Chains A and B, each alone.
Chain A
Amino acid sequence: MNTENTSSQSFENSFEAPIGTPTPGVKEIYQIDEKTLGITWTDNISASYDVLDLRRLCPCAHCVDEHTGVRTLKAEDIKEDVRPIKIDSVGRYALKISFNDGHDTGLYTFQKLRSFASNQKLH
């Protein structure tokens, strides 16, 4: 009884959403203009993303220290004209963006993408 309590607490700490409530998926993905990516999620929320912001927020181990979580990539190191080459789905949970500066190791999870959209609206 006691053990059950502690375990449910630790599970709450380790996740943003409870297990069993999957993050909405991608309903549509499209290019809005030369530097804006658009995603409509399955819960009909549309979001747009500045591709330069996405590159600067790259979550991969080259850009963020794996152990401390501190960002090692400096915003000024990324040129203004960076653009994606292509964007692929990864499983059910993330996007892989290959950028034209040769960087393609970042996996952008749906959960993160939903939290850092520059502009979101419900249809």
Chain B
Amino acid sequence: MKSIFEKIRGRRKSSALSSINHEPLTETLIRRALSKIIDPDFRQDIVSLGFVRNIKISESVAKGSPSAFDGEAEKSFHVSFDINLTTPACPVKETFRREAGELVSALPGVKTVDVNMTAYQPEPKKTTASGQGSTQGTALSRVRNIVAVASGKGGVGKSTTAVNLAYALKQSGAKVGLLDADITGPSVPTMTGVLNPESMDGNFVVPPQKDGIPMISCSMFKGADTANILRGPMASSMITQFLTQIKWGELDYLIIDYPPGTSDIQLTLSQACAITGAVLVTTPQKVATNDCDKAAQMFHTLNVPVVGVIETMSYFEPKKGERYHIFGKGGAESVSKKFGFPVFSQIPIEEDVSTLSDDGKPVVIHRKESEAAKAYASAAEKLVRSLAVLNSHNSQALERFSLKWR
């Protein structure tokens, strides 16, 4: 006890001196400087959060430095370290990089700084039950976050939202997959223009990729032009196959475009895998928000946290400042107030959103400057942040397990 106390006191003393005498550049000094950076979501400094890793200090003798006249060259240092974030899509990534660079450069003797932004340690996801069980659903074992994009009512822009969220996440540097689970009305292939057929690897289906995003839609298995008429059990077994027999590989986010409503397929989807969080989509209309409430209640029953709600078709703005609320106002806000989850974004009505969707060009990358694209990008950013916070709370829970009785 005593010796620890003394150590702390000793350290205090030396830090008090450091402002006068140049304290030698150490890892501790660098950590102390970096601990001024606070993660806005976890509300802790990045050093306490364990984000700072791999600090390396290399010494070089500076030529022509003023003190070289004194006969001894002043030491200068090159410092490099990693900032390991919880997701490659972290929206504050660039701020962290800049602040870290500035703080460390300001330390005495530091000449150059290399800040490496990384994400995750290769930590296997907890899927077994205390060594007794076996892993289940290996198709999803390397998927870190499974996001349900759902609505109570159809036609609210759920697929458009799912596609644009996927593209926005991809753009922020994450590995993203997209699963179109709308069995009777698949729209992802039209909206992304994915053409390549899937291929097989043993019992697994390898999803085709478009713009670096692996995508699966049931329309790939039956012609997109023929209607899928399926009874509950068949639809459910198709969905289960989607989740267990598709080789998604390593993904940061798997976006699932849910079919509208709260019945068989939605239930099966939430049973067959551990959904990390759900995003609800609604228009401002009461007929849509009423159904959105039902979706919220369904997810509550299934213990899937709803992370936020996105309002589509919020307003039409033909001229700057001239807004028409064609479908009414405050729909998402009312859902948000009732259940306590945030409104991620309000997406305006823009011609490009629908026409580009029909051409397979998501607005979030093909009309980046549009208000709709910005609103989608901002929703994706909020999604990333809420999932990171959620995961830090859930870190102890087993996700998929199977216990064999002996």
Contact = CB atoms under 8 A, between A and B. Distances in A.
Nearest to A98: B405
A25 B397 contact: yes
A41 to B, nearest CB: 9
B301 A93 contact: yes
B224 interface: no
Interface in B280-331: 293, 296-297, 300-306
B399 A89 contact: yes
Interface string A53-74: 0000000000000000000000
B218 interface: no
Interface residues of A, number: 38
User: At the interface, is chain A mostly helix, strand, loop or mixed?
Assistant: mixed
A122 interface: no
Given A11-B338, A20-B339, A25 B398 contact: yes
Interface in A1-35: 4, 7-8, 11, 14-15, 18-20, 22-31, 34
Nearest to A86: B404
A9 B339 CA distance: 12
Given A31-B132, A89-B398, A19 B405 contact: no
A44 B110 CA distance: 47
Interface stretch (B23-31, B271-279, B355-363): B271-279
Interface string B7-31: 0000000000000000000000000
A90 to B, nearest CB: 5
Contacts of B391: none
Given A27-B396, A30-B129, A91-B272, A19 B339 contact: yes
B129 A91 contact: no
B130 interface: yes
A92 B270 CA distance: 8
B340 A20 contact: yes
Nearest to B334: A4
B400 A19 contact: no
Interface of A: 4, 7-8, 11, 14-15, 18-20, 22-31, 34, 42, 51, 83-94, 107, 109-111
Interface of B: 129-130, 132-133, 136, 270-275, 293, 296-297, 300-306, 337-341, 394, 396-406
